[in-house]
């Protein structure tokens, strides 16, 4: 058959599209997206935020055992610490009792390793502690005044976040008068009579002080369970005036 111009059209010599090439491209793209997501999650976990779980009752009722929290790792290196911050920190020396590694099967271990890599699991939570910052470098922290309150630089603290035994009004069990050295913190658990905190360790070689360099970050919020989702306050009204 000829065209209107009288010429014979050239036959189509292009190669047919190979079947199956489409699904291979799709799988490749999915793998690229998956790897990119893992890399981004790893970078976020390493430099920005990560997850921890609460292994003890020392911060009740603010934090419960097995709560999951999100920790801002920009504090204290890029964002300053403040009085009242809830911080996660590495053992300053002898605060934690060595724990044997739990026995898990290979599959559970592999899954946990992947989740830990992207920051969704925290297998090292038992190697860290979490407390509230009461004293900053240079602060004088005293327990207690005539009303059973902690004072920081002479300012009495009204602490709505603490849990005390029934009928007890004294902010913590033991008396102390300390001045926080440079580069260190004085930290205490909200569950004051059930917390191995700075006051508990005041006679240790550490003096109860936590080096700021040991701080992993500031706890921002409870992420799990959903029923307990909430931002973690540092109660600026409680600590108003202590810097003066």
The verdict on residue 142 lying in a domain is yes
Question: What is the separation of C-alpha 45 from the centre of its chain, rounded to a whole number of angstroms?
Answer: 10
To the query of whether residue 19 is one of the catalytic residues in this protein, the response is no
**Number of compact structural domains in the chain:** 1
The verdict on residue 169 lying in a domain is yes
Residue spans of beta strands (DSSP E) within 66-125: 68-72, 86-90
Task: Point out the catalytic residue in the list 45, 51, 58, 121.
Answer: 58
Q: What is the pLDDT of residue 3?
A: 44
Tell me the C-alpha distance between 67 and 89, whole Å: 17
Tell me: the pLDDT tens digits for 159-180? 999 999 999 999 999 999 999 9
The verdict on residue 164 lying in a domain is yes
To the query of whether residue 24 is one of the catalytic residues in this protein, the response is no
Closest of 184, 217, 213, 222 to residue 62, by C-alpha: 222
The verdict on residue 1 lying in a domain is no
> Residue 191's domain spans which residues?
50-231
Q: What is the pLDDT of residue 18?
A: 55
Q: What is the pLDDT of residue 1?
A: 44
Task: Point out the catalytic residue in the list 51, 125, 131, 184.
Answer: 131
Helix (H) or strand (E) holding 188: strand 184-188
Q: Which residues contact 83 (CB under 8 A, 6 or more apart)?
A: 133, 134, 135, 136, 152, 234, 238, 239, 242, 243
Tokens 């199956």, residue located: 20
CATH number of the domain that residue 189 is part of: 2.10.109.10
The verdict on residue 59 lying in a domain is yes
Q: Which residues contact 77 (CB under 8 A, 6 or more apart)?
A: none
For the question of whether the overall pTM of this predicted structure is more than 0.85, the answer is no
Closest of 60, 236, 62 to residue 155, by C-alpha: 236
The neighbouring-strand residues paired with 224 are 68
Q: Which residues contact 182 (CB under 8 A, 6 or more apart)?
A: 137, 138
Helix/strand/coil for 150: strand
Q: What is the pLDDT of residue 125?
A: 52
Q: What is the pLDDT of residue 98?
A: 66
The verdict on residue 238 lying in a domain is no
Q: Find out whether the peptide bond into 116 is cis, omega within 30 degrees of 0.
A: no
The verdict on residue 160 lying in a domain is yes
Q: What is the pLDDT of residue 45?
A: 56
Helix/strand/coil for 102: coil
pLDDT, block means (10 residues), the chain with 244 residues: 48 52 73 66 63 92 94 89 97 81 52 52 69 98 96 97 96 96 98 96 96 96 92 96 85
């Amino acid at each position: 058959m000829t065209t209107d111009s009288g010429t014979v059209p050239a036959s189509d010599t292009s190669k047919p599209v190979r079947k199956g090439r489409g699904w291979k491209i799709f799988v490749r793209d999915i793998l690229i997206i998956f790897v990119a997501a893992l890399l981004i999650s790893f970078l976020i976990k390493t430099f920005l935020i990560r997850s921890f779980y609460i292994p003890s009752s020392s911060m009740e009722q603010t934090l419960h055992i097995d709560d999951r929290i999100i920790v801002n790792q920009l504090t204290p290196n890029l964002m300053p610490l403040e009085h009242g911050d809830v911080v996660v920190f590495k053992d300053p020396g002898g605060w934690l009792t060595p724990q044997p590694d739990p026995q898990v099967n290979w599959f559970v271990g592999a899954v946990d390793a992947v989740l830990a890599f992207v920051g969704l699991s925290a297998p090292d939570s038992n190697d860290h502690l979490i407390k509230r910052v009461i004293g900053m470098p240079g602060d004088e922290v005293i327990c207690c005044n005539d009303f059973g309150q902690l004072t920081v630089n002479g300012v009495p603290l009204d602490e709505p976040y603490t849990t005390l035994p029934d009928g007890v009004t004294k902010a913590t069990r033991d008396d102390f008068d300390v001045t926080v050295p440079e580069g260190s913190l004085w930290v205490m658990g909200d569950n004051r009579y059930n917390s191995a905190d700075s006051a508990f360790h005041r006679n240790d070689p550490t003096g109860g002080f936590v080096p700021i360099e040991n701080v992993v970050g500031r706890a921002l919020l409870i992420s799990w369970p959903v029923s307990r989702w909430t931002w973690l306050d540092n109660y600026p009204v409680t600590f108003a005036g202590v810097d003066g």
